[in-house]
Structure 1
Amino acid sequence: MIPLRRIVTISCAGLLLASCGIDGGDSAAGDAETDRQSETLALAISYPRQADAAGFARAALATSLGKSGDFSVLEATDLDHKGPGNPMARLVWRIHRNKIDSGWKHTPAFDACYSVEFNYDGVSSGPSRIICPESATAITPPPLPRRDIPSDFAPALETTLGALPATPGEEDVRAALATGLPTPPVAPETGLAGIPPQIFVQVKGSDVGVALFARIGVGDEDCMLGHRVGGAVKVWSLNWRDLGPRETPCSAETALAAP
């Protein structure tokens, strides 16, 4: 069992945060611009929801600021929490500012560090300026494979449904889908192959309904439906509005019943 508190990484090799200098205070470096950048970043990575601290770190590093050479994540920590309103993850990040030495302005280089905590709904505290931990190194959480349904699944599903025998059994449909649907591609940026969607099938006589379902995030789903009803083939996708808790389920029954 994974413990409730799992530290993805911690600066200063296991020392308490206070002993590492992460205690805030007037001496913490930063300015109005790094404050603005941190506030914008914290808001940006609050949604889509993340499952853990590593997810928030990945989201931060995927932003324009995160991809720059001036930004680094120093800590991503999962926090003990009892409910969705309690803080579940803490990030500490650093923004580097080069010195400015012009005829009218002289500003020394500095590193501004911030601590921010997130709960299920987004930011629960911070971003707050803190003293940068000494000897802290940037971390990069391991990448995750893509879980969405690629666009080339739609024409493949349509072709597969159209080529089924007149009165197929469920196993016939599943076998046809196993060979007819494409393999999710390998993402060049991570080198990881995508996760194929779940497949649901329902057959009634000569009519067939198929649902492809993928859970791509904590609260995000991807759904593609297809049917052959009365000999006519149709393939379509459901968006996040369609997939609300009181809306349309991603199921083979939904596909078969659709007009």
Structure 2
Amino acid sequence: MVNPVRVVAVACAGLLLASCGVLGESAAGDAETDRQSTTLADAIGYPRQPDAAGLARAALATPLGGSPGFSVLLAEDLAHEGPEDPMARLVWRIHRDAYDSGWQKTPAFDACYEVDFDYYGAVAEPSRVACPEDATPVTPPPLPKRGIPSDFAPALETALGALPGTPGEAEARDAVAAALPAPRVDPVTGLASIPPRVLVHVRGGDVGVALSANTGGDGDCVMGRRVGGEVRVWSLDWRDLGPLEKPCTAEAALATS
């Protein structure tokens, strides 16, 4: 009769050897690189990133990502339909130098991890994978600059002066947007700058305009107003803006004395 205890023990030993063989032969790493990778995946999952390049930028901006031994090897966008479907995959490498304390020696190794992300963060904990031999570190393109160029102010002044006596808000907004310079293209990256939001408020014949450099309205701002036929344009920077300071809104532009 077969001893059931021995069968269980042999089976468990076999599973242990198999799992050790998988990790030992194809995927280096240890408890510390596992912890680092899990922490990194959690950190870059929020704020939400729009694509794999955004996740790679976020990873490289962390303390781990900025260390000499870290590199992103793959940043791949995945076909998806809903927000809970995996939309991007990253593979990164953590290099560990050899360590010799005199009584303990640890050889150098490269630990690589793969993790998929949906729009809410990492789908699962990073998994160890074999490091590709010929991988080239990924350098994601920088984000387009959000500042408002200096030539927007005179363009806004001209647009305000050319508006009809009592324009509608949609008419004024379209006229201002059409008068602004085209987005500039970075000659190195080929990326166009992000155009500012055009906010307009009309009160009779008076018009207030705010050009906001980002969607939150708390970046650089150019304001303009036409009151009683007189046109004035001015700029605000981050020192002037914020919850306790001046808002970058068309209403604020029109109310400014």
Q: Pick the TM interval, shorter chain.
A: 0.5 to 0.7
Determine the C-alpha separation between the residues in 2 that align with 1:54 and 1:98: 28
AA in 1 matched with 2:105: H
Q: Counterpart of 2:47 in 1: which secondary structure?
A: coil
Q: Which residue of 1 aligns with 2:69?
A: 70
Aligned equivalents of 2:255, 2:38: Cα separation in 1: 45
Counterpart of 2:82 in structure 1 is 83
Residue 53 (structure 2) aligns with: 54
The separation in 2 between residues aligned to 1:191 and 1:91, in whole angstroms, is 24
Aligned ranges for residues 190-229 of structure 1 at < 5 Å?
A: 194-214=193-213, 221-223=215-217, 224=221, 226=223, 228=225
Partner residue, 1:19: none
**Counterpart in the other structure of 1:111:** 110
Greater mean alpha carbon deviation, residues 228-237 or residues 96-105? 228-237
Q: Which amino acid aligns with 2:23?
A: D
Q: Distance in 1 between matches of 2:85 and 2:255?
A: 41
Q: In 2 relative to 1, CA 240–76 (structure 1 residues): closer, same or farther, beyond 3 Å?
A: farther
> Aligned ranges for residues 1-259 of structure 1 at < 5 Å?
25-27=22-24, 28-146=27-145, 148-149=146-147, 169=164, 170=172, 174=176, 178=180, 194-214=193-213, 221-223=215-217, 224=221, 226=223, 228=225, 252=250, 255=252
Partner SS, residue 216 of structure 2: strand
Whether the aligned pair in 1 keeps the contact of 2:222 and 2:233 (CA below 8 Å) is no
Q: Unaligned stretches of 5+ in structure 2?
A: 1-20, 165-171
Identical residues among aligned pairs (%):
54
Mean Cα displacement is larger for which, 131-140 or 101-110? 131-140
CA distance 1:191–1:52, change in 2 (3 Å): closer
Residue 149 of structure 1 contacts residue 222 of structure 1 at CA under 8 Å; is this kept in 2?
no
Shift of 1:31: 1.6
Verify the 8 A CA contact 1:25 1:131 in the aligned structure 2: no
Is the partner of 2:64 in helix, strand or coil? helix
- Structure 1 residue 195 displacement after superposition: 3.2
- Asked if the contact 1:206/1:230 (under 8 Å) is kept, the reply is yes
Report the Cα offset of residue 137 of structure 1.
2.3
Of Structure 1 and Structure 2, which has the larger fraction of its residues in helix?
2
For residues 154-207 of structure 1, what are the alpha-carbon distances to aligned partners after superposition, in whole Å with 9 as ceiling and x for unaligned? xx97xx88xx77x96449x949x859xxx99x8xx9797743413243443453
Offset of 1:222 from its aligned partner? Answer: 3.1
Q: Larger RCO: Structure 1 or Structure 2 (Cα < 8 Å, ≥ 6 residues apart)?
A: 1
Q: How many angstroms apart in 1 are the aligned matches of 2:99 and 2:198?
A: 57
Deviation track 1:87-108 (CA, whole Å, cap 9, x = no partner) reads 1111010000000112233110
Distance 2:116 2:237 in 1: 35
Secondary structure class of the residue paired with 2:54: helix
- C-alpha distance in structure 1 between counterparts of 2:189 and 2:84, whole Å: 33
Query: Greater Rg, structure 1 or structure 2?
Result: 2
CA distance in 1, matches of 2:35, 2:74: 20
Query: C-alpha distance in 1, partners of 2:207/2:75?
Result: 47
**1:96 is paired with a residue of what secondary structure?**
strand
Residues 227, 255 of structure 1: 8 Å contact kept? no
CA distance, structure 2, for counterparts of residue 114 and residue 227 of structure 1: 51
> Which amino acid counterpart does residue 222 of structure 1 have in structure 2?
G
Conservation of the 8 A alpha-carbon contact between 1:207 and 1:227? no
Gaps of 5+ in 1: 1-23, 216-220, 242-247
